[in-house]
Amino acid sequence: AGMMGLYNVETCGRHPAALTTGNVRKYFIAAEKILWNYAPNNYDRFTHNTLDDPDSQSAIYFARSSDRIGGSYWKVHYTEYTDESFSHKKTPFLEEQHLGILGTTSDVILNFYIL
């Protein structure tokens, strides 16, 4: 079960307009495939049992078997880097650390151009 989409990116023959006056900000963001665990501690704080306990309501989502994938899924995470070499990840600000899988944020204001 699932969905798949294919597309081709072609040039449209148009050339983008030259940048006008304004401030320029460069962001170096990569889409990276990661295995995201929705419950790394595997613990239900309400029942005090493990999430994959066969008698729990959560077992259908977190138990692993021949017909269940458990609580870890492949995701794409948008990661910001410090420069165009993409060799050093940018440390998120304290205010951004709660975002988890949502990835990086970018601050843009009027008269700014993003490259």
Q: Which CATH number fits the domain that encloses residue 76?
A: 2.60.40.420
Rounded to whole angstroms, the Cα distance separating 109 from 69 reads 42
- Residue 49 lies inside a defined structural domain of this protein: yes
Smallest Cα–Cα separation from 96: which of 110, 85, 81, 106?
Answer: 106
- Residue 38 lies inside a defined structural domain of this protein: yes
- Residue 77 lies inside a defined structural domain of this protein: yes
Q: Which of 15-24, 78-87, 90-99 has the highest mean pLDDT?
A: 78-87
Rounded to whole angstroms, the Cα distance separating 58 from 74 reads 20
Rounded to whole angstroms, the Cα distance separating 33 from 75 reads 6
Rounded to whole angstroms, the Cα distance separating 38 from 41 reads 9
What is the extent of the structural domain holding 108?
A: 23-114
- Residue 88 lies inside a defined structural domain of this protein: yes
Q: What is the pLDDT of residues 3-23, one digit of tens each?
A: 778 888 788 887 777 666 677
Report residue 56 CA to chain centroid gap: 29
Q: How far apart are the first and last CA of the chain?
A: 37
Position 111 scores a pLDDT of 65
Position 15 scores a pLDDT of 77
pTM of the model: 0.60
Q: Is the pLDDT of residue 32 over 80?
A: yes
Number of domains within the chain:
1
Please state, rounded to an integer, the average pLDDT across all residues of the chain: 84
Position 97 scores a pLDDT of 81
> Any bridge partners for residue 65, and if so which?
68
